[in-house]
């Protein structure tokens, strides 16, 4: 190629930190290695080997349309056929919004692209090229039922951070078959209306399942400094929450009846937000995470402090209306208490009148008896 003789190529041949761009996707990892330094060193795209794999599907292809030109590698994000990439899963205690969990996992996918020197003889004048890549994916996320914000990919020489959050979404339904989306009008839902929740992973590599660790509602769209109520946590759930599917596939389902927070009791329409801490677990290890794994109990209280560095999404509001039958009953109870109080007053008046009459009669009888006794004397 003509770039080998250009000043641009000479510049790139001396560059060490921007020769490779790493894109950590949800299904594939993509590498783009600038071709000018490769040509300057005496190689071409066919002499770059990914993780010493001879598979043609793991070879790079030249993209001369890019500026500058690059050699592109693209391989699936699956342990079975990720072109020899190394998968390393690490665990650490959770912090911030995940502080109730002692085992928060991250998977790191790494490897190297090396040059193959075809020189035959005792010595060579070609330098060895090595391009290291690394993608780190957290496996625990805080999600909700509205939008997903994903940061753009960045260029890296040795490593890069990826996220599966773009594959996750939460949806609310009104039926147990999860066919009719739940639509909340301006007046909100009636109390005790059952809400069916589904968290699903779309376009996610097949080696992971969706496992809900904890779901809770909070008055504020941001759980920090907000009263919240746990629908379920590891080893415990609210008695009104029904778990339908969790950790067995790339979707999780549960339901709960609409409620409202006591501090919102004077509001005609009560609004709160739903949040779920979601774990992506490898199929072989999901079972162990379905066991009791909490670090400490969590109860209905006020959460203080910030959230962790993990992606935080603001949920759409759930609105509940005042329970009309309950209000009617309260009015009836108040009326009954009023009538009861009125009836008690009337009863006391009658009793007092009877006592006065009886007293008067007793006094007259006493006077009459006294006169008869005096006449007999």
Residues of the chain where predicted confidence (pLDDT) is lower than 50: 1-2, 4-8, 10-15, 145-160, 293-314, 325-344, 346
**How confident is the model at residue 371, as a pLDDT?**
60
Whether 96 and 175 map to the same domain: the answer is no
**Listed residues 130, 161, 192: the one ending a domain:** 161
Q: Are residue 37 and residue 128 in the same domain, yes or no?
A: yes
> Based on the domain organization, do 220 and 293 belong to the same domain?
yes
The domain total for the chain is: 2
Cβ-count burial of 168 within 10 angstroms (0-12 exposed, 13-18 middle, 19+ buried)? buried
Give the pLDDT of residue 100: 65
pLDDT of residue 146: 37
- Asked if residue 307 and residue 185 are part of one domain, the reply reads yes
- CATH code of the domain in which 249 resides: 2.60.40.4100
Do residue 35 and residue 111 come from a single domain? yes
Share of the chain above pLDDT 90, in %: 21
Claim to verify: residue 185 and residue 108 sit in the same structural domain: no
Q: Average per-residue pLDDT in the chain?
A: 74
In a domain, 376, yes or no: no
- Please report, in angstroms and rounded to a whole number, the separation of the first and last CA atoms in the chain: 154
Are both 59 and 131 inside the same structural domain? yes
273 touches 318 (CB < 8 A): yes
Q: What is the pLDDT of residue 26?
A: 85
357 in a structural domain: no
User: Do 129 and 171 fall within a single domain?
Assistant: no
In a domain, 352, yes or no: no
Look at residue 30 and tell me if it is in a domain. Answer: yes
Q: Do 262 and 169 belong to one domain?
A: yes
The candidate with the shortest Cα–Cα distance to 148, out of 169, 163, 164, 162, is 169
pLDDT, position 17: 57
Are residues 194 and 273 located together in one domain of the fold?
yes
Domain that holds residue 109: 2-139+151-161
* 122-133 residue pLDDT tens: 887 778 888 999
Read off the pTM.
Answer: 0.63
DSSP state of 109: E
Bridge-based pairing of strands 130-138 and 28-34 is unpaired
The CA-atom distances, in angstroms, between 375 and each of 11, 363, 366, 367 are 146, 19, 15, 13
Is position 232 within any domain?
yes
* Of the candidates 131, 97, 148, the residue with the CA atom closest to the CA atom of residue 298: 97
95 and 170 housed in the same domain: no
Q: How far is Cα 212 from Cα 228, in angstroms, rounded to an integer?
A: 17
User: pLDDT digit string (tens) for 266-276?
Assistant: 888 888 888 88
The pLDDT assigned to 10 comes to 46
Q: CA-CA distance, 255 to 67, in Å (whole number)?
A: 52
d(CA 40, CA 9): 7
Same domain, 104 and 171: no
In this prediction, residue 265 carries a pLDDT of: 79
Give the angle subtended at the CA of 289 by the CAs of 286 and 292, to the nearest 5°.
Answer: 150
Which CATH number is 82's domain given? Answer: 2.60.40.3210
340 lies in some domain: no
Has residue 338 been placed in a domain?
A: no
Whether 355 is covered by a domain: the verdict is no
Residue 345: its pLDDT value, please? 52
């Amino acid at each position: 190629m003509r770039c080998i003789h250009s000043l641009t190529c000479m510049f790139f041949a001396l560059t060490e930190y921007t020769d490779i761009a790493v894109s950590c996707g949800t299904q594939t990892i993509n590498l783009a290695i600038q071709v000018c330094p490769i040509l300057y060193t005496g190689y071409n795209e066919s002499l770059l080997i990914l993780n010493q794999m001879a598979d043609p599907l793991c070879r790079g292809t030249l993209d001369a349309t890019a500026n500058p030109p690059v050699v592109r590698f693209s391989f699936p994000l699956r342990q079975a056929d990720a072109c020899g990439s190394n998968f390393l899963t690490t665990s650490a205690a959770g912090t911030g919004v995940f502080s109730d969990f002692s085992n928060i996992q991250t998977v790191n996918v790494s490897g190297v692209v090396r040059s193959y020197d075809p020189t035959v003889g005792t010595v060579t004048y070609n330098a060895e090229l090595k391009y290291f890549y690394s993608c780190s994916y957290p496996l625990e996320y805080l999600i909700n039922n509205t939008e997903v914000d994903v940061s753009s990919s960045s260029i890296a020489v040795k490593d890069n951070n990826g996220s599966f959050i773009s594959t996750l979404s939460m949806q609310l339904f009104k039926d147990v078959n999860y066919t009719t989306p739940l639509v909340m009008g301006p007046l909100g839902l009636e109390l005790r209306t059952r809400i069916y929740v589904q968290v699903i992973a779309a376009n996610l590599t097949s080696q992971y399942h969706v496992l809900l660790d904890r779901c809770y509602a909070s008055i504020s769209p941001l759980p920090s400094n907000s009263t919240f109520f746990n629908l379920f946590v590891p080893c415990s759930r609210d008695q009104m929450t029904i778990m339908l599917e969790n950790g067995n596939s790339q979707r999780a389902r549960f339901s709960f009846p609409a409620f409202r927070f006591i501090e919102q009791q004077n509001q005609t329409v009560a609004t709160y937000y739903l949040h779920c801490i979601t774990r992506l677990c490898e199929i072989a290890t999901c079972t162990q995470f379905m066991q009791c794994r909490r670090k400490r109990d969590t109860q209905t209280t006020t959460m203080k402090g910030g959230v962790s560095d993990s992606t935080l999404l603001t949920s759409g509001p759930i609105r509940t209306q005042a329970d009309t039958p309950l209000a009617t009953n309260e009015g009836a109870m108040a009326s009954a208490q009023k009538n009861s109080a009125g009836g008690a007053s009337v009863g006391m008046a009658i009793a007092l009148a009877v006592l006065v009459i009886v007293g008067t009669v007793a006094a007259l009888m006493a006077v009459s008896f006294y006169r008869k006794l005096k006449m007999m004397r």
